[in-house]
Structure 1
């Protein structure tokens, strides 16, 4: 290791220490990048910082970030989750474990529309928590279902995390979105199957919805399904369908989705100018945080790479005696541990650019790698000792203590780990959809190419024409 590479290692260690003691991440990264960069490369570091910032802000994919965030806040104001919850509750009321199914399905569909963990867990806790307590549901399973379902929003498209992860890994947003569908819906299905199986063998864990909370007629059930499920389905087709079909870019689809969410608020009769202004302010604050961190981490990563430390780390990991799957397991374990103290923007912007070259050097598909990283991060956000979902839930359901919430989350953690293992062992779970879309795109381009073969006697015809012209 050279002296310049050692300087990069020191910069990395100082960065970790500064973040762990509570210093602001974005400003810490910028200060360290400029300071250590000035020592290592002189005044050129300022030119590098300028070029990296301009290059990042020119990426079209980042335009989708504020639009998807606005879409989530507006959907929250529209009462979309309340509509979904009521529709599913009326539909599955007679089942044992009905409220577990309702919670997970609501979280899955609301995650498609909004993609926010904190809001999803809090709203589910407010709506489902008291009802589960009144119906005599098991506290551990109830808390676990709400917390686990709430984390699906960062994995299932149109997750903002996936939007910013795609340019970091230099892959298509369409392919990453398509890859995330398989693990996302697999997890949702595993959660539902787990709760239904346990309630089948032990009905006391989750009795049917009380009769007084059920609708009086089938017509009411159909109406609730119409007003609760159809709007989110249309909104999903307008956004995700347009992206995956290649009709629009992610930014264009996000803008359409935000407009659709505003129209949904108007249709539900809950539109106010004050509410729209609050959603815009919240979007501005969240987007500013994400993009400032993106700029800071981009400059930090550029200096880190220029010092040669990133290349040295990649070569060291690739030269390890571990097999490829062993090195990949090591990378995923590191990402899982980083998910405890750090939020996903810090991991995606700071650490993922350092680890991605190792995965690429091992020969792994970067779309698959991005998908498995998203699943691992979701698992980390659900696992103790940090697990912010537990604290969100505790704030809105005072009757449940943190110990029981953590125990309930641990049950679903087993399913999360099983999903990670399945995606590792069977990559097709993530890759079948992007591969299918890619095959369709290739077929469509091939069909547009019109090949006209020349006639077999073209040369003879040309020669004959020349003779005729001379004779003439």
Structure 2
């Protein structure tokens, strides 16, 4: 059998194992071993030498140190109660308008996302507060579910984001450039969500009724105090992390360390710093980071064999051999990422597609930072697309009995469409993605 054919068979077998529900990390590692033995003619020494080289490469990747740091920062922010204070403030300020509480969810998720960088902590923290509050006031159940799920996914695209850190490591693209390029797309998505909620509740007021007048008891002075207490500290943390990267004072890894310190200080300020909170945050970080690194090792083993067999070249030849416009090939790649997102988590998709699609993007002369940002915006949809969107199950795990999985599926559909709108905007107007990194780092520094 030709090596290229064997590589394509290897990729097809991977998809079958994933659809059967086998764990991704072990599927990648086992398939790499089996097809590696076939492809090398049973040369075990060569196979293990390739695996060892890839594993050592992962251990040497300095930027990956930021991953456990950002995860720990998110866990400490969750423990500090920052989401609770933010939601209470936005609840009071936006509650009097139609759909105001759903808008408050998106705003809180946006601020929390810019502080934390992960999805699970954002969605669970906000969901536990928002679901009872919105349902108690008669908000439409699918709208409530969709707002919380979509808002929670902002944590994976708005920097600091561990997805951007991982992508930078895999594609050898500056994480600082990715952080700045993802800022406007992340805010665009938040704006699209809020616009949709506003229009929907204006057309059908019963979907998001305003707070009754008897609950509007806070004066302007009270509101300003609440903003000062709940909004200024997380904004200061955002400035500490992102500002240190943009000002070239710290690398993303060092900025993650600064973020951990800031999260500790917030926990102290809000009087939530306890030994139990630190212990729980450390254990959660250990579990999540172990999962990430296990996937990394399995993914790198798979990549090494797939490349050795010429799989990347085979797929490149197929796509580049199409006599169509380069943007048609781009949409084919985006469609593949979207399809995989229905069944695989974002990390698995990155490990599979980045080594394959990045050379194709370079051959088509796509800007590497722009293309990376498109992939990451697309991967946000992986959290929402049924049947295996992680955000759907995060919410279902904390939702009351009256919110069924059907309500959640119905609720996320409009937000998936909005994410496609945001992705298409980023594709049609590349400067929307590239303007900020060019303005901060210079066009020459980012390669265009």
- The residue aligned with 1:29 is 28
**SS across alignment from 1:192:** helix
Give the length in aligned residue pairs: 441
Contact kept? 2:31, 2:302, Cα under 8 Å:
yes
- The residue aligned with 2:419 is 416
Distance 1:438 1:298, change over 3 A: same
Contact kept? 2:110, 2:154, Cα under 8 Å:
yes
402-411 or 298-307: bigger deviation: 402-411
Deviations 1:223-279 (A, max 9, x none): 211111111011101111111221100110001101110111111111111210111
Structure 1 residues 139-150: aligned runs within 5 Å: 139-150=141-152
Residue 117 of structure 1 and its aligned partner are, at CA, apart by: 2.2
- The residue aligned with 1:397 is 400
Structure 1 residues 71-90: aligned runs within 5 Å: 71-90=73-92
Q: Max radius of gyration: which structure?
A: 1
- The residue aligned with 2:170 is 168
Aligned partners of 2:408, 2:420: CA distance in 1, in Å? Answer: 18
Distance 1:45 1:180, change over 3 A: same
- The residue aligned with 1:227 is 229
TM-score normalised according to structure 2 size:
0.94
Aligned partners of 2:217, 2:249: CA distance in 1, in Å? Answer: 41
- The residue aligned with 1:308 is 310
Aligned partners of 1:390, 1:132: CA distance in 2, in Å? Answer: 18
Once superposed, what is the RMSD of the aligned Cα atoms? 1.8
289-298 or 192-201: bigger deviation: 192-201
TM-score normalised according to structure 1 size:
0.89
- The residue aligned with 1:446 is none
Contact kept? 1:135, 1:210, Cα under 8 Å:
no
Deviations 1:103-127 (A, max 9, x none): 0000111111223323322333321
Q: Is 1:437 aligned to 2:437, yes or no?
A: no
**SS across alignment from 2:370:** helix
Deviations 1:193-246 (A, max 9, x none): 222233334433322223454443223212211111111011101111111221
Residue 416 of structure 1 and its aligned partner are, at CA, apart by: 1.4
Residue 35 of structure 1 and its aligned partner are, at CA, apart by: 3.1
Aligned partners of 2:410, 2:7: CA distance in 1, in Å? Answer: 41
- The residue aligned with 2:18 is 19
Deviations 1:60-116 (A, max 9, x none): 110100000000111011111101111212222322221121000001111112233
Distance 1:60 1:212, change over 3 A: farther
Contact kept? 1:155, 1:180, Cα under 8 Å:
yes
- The residue aligned with 1:319 is 321
Q: Is 1:156 aligned to 2:158, yes or no?
A: yes
- The residue aligned with 1:248 is 250
Residue 136 of structure 1 and its aligned partner are, at CA, apart by: 2.1
Contact kept? 1:125, 1:397, Cα under 8 Å:
no
